[in-house]
Structure 1
Amino acid sequence: MNSPAVEPPWRAASLVFAGGAVGSLIRYGVSLAFPRDGLVPWDVVLVNTVGALLLGALVGWLGRAAGPTSSVRARHQRLLWGTGALGGFTTYSALALGAVDLVRDDRALAAMLLAVGSVAVGLAACGAGLALGSLAARGRARAS
């Protein structure tokens, strides 16, 4: 495969910016739909789990398109949807804040369960998404 032409840096930045705006707005909508009224910040758990699943599916679908030999379209899709939209949608900082708030409320065990459980569920969701995306990409390739 031929190496793609060097793109201006503003193109990649604009894709990340546009995707991040969309993802952040959706994330904000989820926080409005799931207001915090209990111990666990369910909105954070939800967006991080869904985001991990979708990122895995995207990467599986695109075939890990991030390197210099991947297609320009695949790199653009990963920047727009992966780095931008899903990066804006998911929120590690809110997870960390939720855990710290639990510690400050003398609920260290709940904080540890939130942090470790969220990472474990996210890993599982990402793995499932990667498998589903790869499977869908193989089906797409066979159909072509």
Structure 2
Amino acid sequence: MAELILKSKLVNFLVADAELNHSYVDDIYYAAEAGDVDALSDVLEAFKEAYGGLWVGGKLVLSQTMVRLNANVMNRLVQDGTLDIELPLALIRNVSIEGGFITKIVRLDTDAGSVKFRCFGAKEVASLIEQMILSRVSTPAL
């Protein structure tokens, strides 16, 4: 039986180990006569160092038990790294909102670290995740 999807939304999520797929992007730059891909690589590495990862475009799916973040096709072509994240709601210890340019950032803290994603309507999504966590905690086991 498929799990009920409570929310599906386009997001960008921060991936610590994301890297430019250098060979694929180099082929695109060569075909488009866009120059040397090393300049782009240097910019992305500086961004990664400053922010702790690269923002990956994709989709959030919130179910009754899980937050899933999956990269879109374009990001799968040009990036390597952890492009799919599944985070059980039971592991989330805190949900918070951080400032951001244009969109806010939702931060999900676990004992192992944090997962961050940004989207329009971030406060609504964070609130829904909190509600799901609280409902799981307050529901007695049978």
Using the size of structure 1 for normalisation, the TM-score is 0.26
The structure that is helix-richer by fraction is: 1
**Larger RCO (CA within 8 A; separation ≥ 6):** 1
TM-score (norm. length: structure 2): 0.26
Higher strand share: 2
